[in-house]
Amino acid sequence: QVHLVESGGGLVQPGGSLRLSCAASGIILSINAMGWYRQAPGKQRELVARIISNGNTVYADSVKGRFTISRDNAKNTVYLQMNNLKPEDTAVYYCNTASSITPMPNWGQGTQVTVSS
């Protein structure tokens, strides 16, 4: 069974940085497209960053230039480096597959990111 465990969230000031981690088991990240999603209260869950098996990355316009998704194949872990955080980045962040052909596993608990002064 696939397990996805997010960590690294917290409370930060605007302009601050956080690094989120997603430890995966039951799935090989190096051969799966993976993404970071977020969901704010009252809003739909959205895909903010995606990394495909060849290492190429795609970002939502709202985070491009500020967020970086990366993968450590040896650790089977995907990361999201978030810089210059803004209050509108406040959300619960989840990792999951981001492929149109790979069935998506169940969502994990996510990790809360709160950006506030």
pLDDT tens per residue, range 51-87 = 998 999 999 999 999 999 999 999 999 999 999 999 9
- What are the counts of helices (DSSP H) followed by strands (DSSP E) for the chain? 0, 10
pLDDT score for 103: 85
Query: Mean pLDDT across the stretch 1-29?
Result: 96
**pLDDT per residue as tens digits for the range 79-96:** 999 999 999 999 999 999
22 and 12 Cβ atoms separated by less than 8 Å: no
Return the structure tokens found at 116: 């506030």
User: Is residue 100 over pLDDT 90?
Assistant: no
Number of CB atoms found within 10 A of residue 32's CB: 19
